[in-house]
Amino acid sequence: MLEDSFGRRFRYLRVSITEACNFRCQYCLPDGYDGPDNSAFMSLTEVQTLMTAFARMGTTKIRITGGEPSLRKDFTEIIQAAVNTPGIQKVATTTHGARLAKDAHKWAQAGLDQVNVSIDSLDPNQFALITGQNKLEQILKGLDVAVDAGLDVKVNTVLLQDFSPARLTRFLDWLKITPVTLRFIELMETGEHKAFFKSQHMSGQPIKDRLLAEGWQPVIRRKDAGPAQEFSHPDYAGKIGLIMPYSKDFCKSCNRLRVSASGKLHLCLFSEQGLDLRHLLKAGDTDALMQFVHDALNSKHVSHYLQDGMTGATKHLAMLGG
Ligand code: SAM
């Protein structure tokens, strides 16, 4: 079992399989991706070695992320490899959702359990403005296909300053009939977007206050739950989650570790350069990997220190997958 010096346990691994993305979200890659192609990143075999080592250390849940993971030609094989790793009970992915309509059934058949889809606005023009892609309709169709394929669907919405009460109302109306969990995520400061953060960060607290005033009830948290606070309402098919990284004690429930597409272990989303695992992955040496990760965990910090403006080496979240 992976446990750090503050008693936090880590059964959840987020694996980035590419840094590339074809969206241009204002808060992430506003000028588009301009980095190495997918051949630079961990191969399927390396990802398999990584997952095997973590599963042997007690990891039960894997999220495949990016960049945009569905841009990898072997994405379905990577899902399958995660599903077939002894010990892994849940496989999730985070995607912009543009390929869901075409591929959700294929991914579900490969054994994917959960998909998180990023939708920052239900207004097509605003969606295009934020993401640089006019694809809201295609993505919403894809969500229906994902639900139909039996996937557990969550939607991620980053809160930006212009997130008006009217926009919230639109999301709430949609949730009345849509059986997904919508998670509002506070914008986090990253190295390349400090000015954007200053002008756009908005607290999730006003949303929480409105939900509680309108009869939403906090969902009892499982012991191993991550940092999202969840709410449900008897009149709504969907649920709401709030991820407020600037709130007090946010890091106390940290239960996840991350590995970047280039094979670096990140003990925190905002840690420094990352600890290189690539030579061990290339060598297929699971025992050495396990020893390395065990030892490294002792240096995990108690907090992300985001509240002090520390963003570590994280230039934008496409580097690591959020
Ligand atoms: N391409 C995939 C997608 O669109 O979801 C996965 C990668 S993306 C980096 C993962 C999640 O991080 C998305 O939901 C995105 O909205 C969120 N994200 C990116 N930058 C962020 C930031 N600065 N603060 C909060 N969330 C952010």
Burial of 125 (0-12, 13-18, 19+ CB in 10 A): exposed
pLDDT 10s per residue in the chain (322 long)?
Answer: 899 999 999 999 999 999 999 999 999 999 999 999 999 999 999 999 999 999 999 999 999 999 999 999 999 999 999 999 999 999 999 999 999 999 999 999 999 999 999 999 999 999 999 999 999 999 999 999 999 999 999 999 999 988 788 889 999 999 999 999 999 999 999 988 889 999 999 999 999 999 999 999 999 887 667 788 999 999 999 999 999 998 888 888 899 999 999 999 999 988 778 999 999 999 999 999 999 999 999 888 888 888 877 777 788 898 888 8
**Structural contact between residues 146 and 115, judged by C-beta atoms closer than 8 angstroms:** yes
Domain that holds residue 157: 12-319
Structural domain includes residue 5: no
Nearest C-alpha to atom 23 of ligand 1 is from which residue?
188
In a domain, 130, yes or no: yes
pLDDT in tens, 34-57: 999 999 999 999 999 999 999 999
Ligand 1: lining residues by beta carbon, under 6 Å: 21, 27-28, 65-66, 68, 94-96, 118, 156, 158, 185, 187-188, 190, 317-318, 321-322
Q: How many domains does the chain have?
A: 1
Q: What percent of the chain has pLDDT over 70?
A: 99
Question: How far, in Å, CA of 159 to CA of 276, rounded?
Answer: 33
- For residue 14, give the amino acid letter: R
Taking a C-beta distance cutoff of 8 angstroms, is the pair 69, 83 a contact? no
Strand ranges, E, within the chain: 12-16, 61-65, 90-95, 114-118, 152-159, 181-186, 217-218, 229-232, 239-243, 256-259, 264-266, 275-276
Please report whether residue 6 resides in a domain.
Answer: no
Ligand 1 centroid to Cα of residue 320, in Å, is 9
Please tell me the distance from the alpha carbon of residue 151 to that of residue 311, in angstroms, as a whole number. Answer: 33
Smallest CA-to-CA distance from 267 within 232, 313, 200 is with: 313
Which atom of ligand 1 is nearest to 21's Cα? 1
Choose one of 94, 196, 247 to mutate for the ligand 1 pocket test, by most ligand atoms within 8 angstroms of C-beta. Answer: 94
Pick the atom of ligand 1 nearest to 28's CA: 20
Q: Tokens for 190, please give them.
A: 């990253």
Asked whether the whole model's pTM tops 0.75, one would answer yes
What CATH number is associated with residue 273?
3.20.20.70
